[in-house]
Amino acid sequence: MRNEARLGAVCRAMLLALACVLSLAPAAAAQEKIKVVATFSILADLVRNVGGDRVDVISLVGPNGDAHVYTPTPADARLVGAARLVVVNGLGFEGWISRLVTVSNSKAAVMVASRNVKARRDGGGHGHGHDDDPHAWQSVPNVMTYVANIRDALTAADPAGKAVYEANAAAYRDKLAALDAEIRAAVAQIPPERRRVITSHDSFGYFADTYGVAFVAPRGVSTEAQASARDVARIITQVKQQNIPAVFLENITDQRMMQRIAEETGARIGGGLISDALTDGAGVAPTYVDLMRHNVKQLAAALAK
């Protein structure tokens, strides 16, 4: 009789211990988030959407930052060194990342988000100095590919979270599909002959290809500091001849020159288009979806009859 009672107590104790261990395990796993470093804010947003609570994402180039001219700091090297996964855009966008990874001696996996994305050739006059246009995120279908790539990379780095990543990615894909439909509907509202704009930063090529709005970049006026009269005359002629209805300003460029051109051609001056980075929390485009919505809204407003 006494032996049975002792065995029962031991069994209960063991069950209790097992229960404790089992309950602790997921807690332990939950405390350890996967450290991911994304090169810039748009990628960081995508990673957050796919990774959810399982990841701790840092963006090297912060909101409103310019990844083209970014120079990494020692703090960045530390971050990369501590990361499990580094997400880069690729297509020559971040010329500085490979060196940073080498310097930081990181054991992280480096993943190129734009893998399998059909790259378009850069139109020239952009100043990047390479052949592929890196701004693939301007087309929502491309971003769907990005998301799939990110999901796969996260799963590879953290197999335990596979179900979570797949679920998040699928949910986000739905959001993106809805966004894509939204954009197409908005563009459809614009009369076909009015679907072209001038903007100084040549980063909307993918948007143009996917959604059918032409982005004409004025050559020499924006990133170049000193315009010549011929450059300005050329743009004005172009706007007049091609009946381009709107001109878009951007922080990088010379606003007064844009205003002059708009006034002389009768084109509308549109609100700023955002191309390369999210805004901070207080701005109009804190997430990727917000960014695309903002741009489409501006375009639609400027190009409406």
CA distance 46 to 180: 16
Largest CA distance in the chain: 106
Contact residues for 56 (Cβ-Cβ < 8 A; gap 6+): 33, 34, 35, 36
From the CB of 126, what's the least distance to another protein, in Å?
Answer: 16
Which spans of this chain sit near another protein (rule: CB under 8 A)? 223, 225-233, 236, 251-257, 259-261, 263-264
Q: Which is nearer to another protein, 163 or 225 (CB)?
A: 225
Read off φ and ψ for residue 36, nearest 5 degrees.
-125, 135
CA 226 vs CA 126, 223, 232, 257, 258: distances in Å: 16, 9, 11, 11, 14
Read off φ and ψ for residue 196, nearest 5 degrees.
-150, 145
Q: Which is nearer to another protein, 180 or 250 (CB)?
A: 250
From the CB of 223, what's the least distance to another protein, in Å?
Answer: 8
Q: Which two tokens stand for residue 244?
A: 């381009």
Q: Which is nearer to another protein, 102 or 251 (CB)?
A: 251
Q: Which is nearer to another protein, 44 or 273 (CB)?
A: 273
From the CB of 268, what's the least distance to another protein, in Å?
Answer: 17
From the CB of 159, what's the least distance to another protein, in Å?
Answer: 46
CA distance 281 to 168: 22
Contact residues for 283 (Cβ-Cβ < 8 A; gap 6+): 63, 64
From the CB of 261, what's the least distance to another protein, in Å?
Answer: 8
Q: Which is nearer to another protein, 54 or 201 (CB)?
A: 201
How many CA atoms lie less than 13 Å away from 188 in the CB half-sphere? 6
Cα dihedral 112, 80, 147, 120 in deg (nearest 10): -30
From the CB of 200, what's the least distance to another protein, in Å?
Answer: 10
From the CB of 89, what's the least distance to another protein, in Å?
Answer: 23
Q: Which is nearer to another protein, 116 or 251 (CB)?
A: 251
CA distance 77 to 1: 67
Q: Which is nearer to another protein, 253 or 295 (CB)?
A: 253
One-letter amino acid for residue 74 of the chain? P
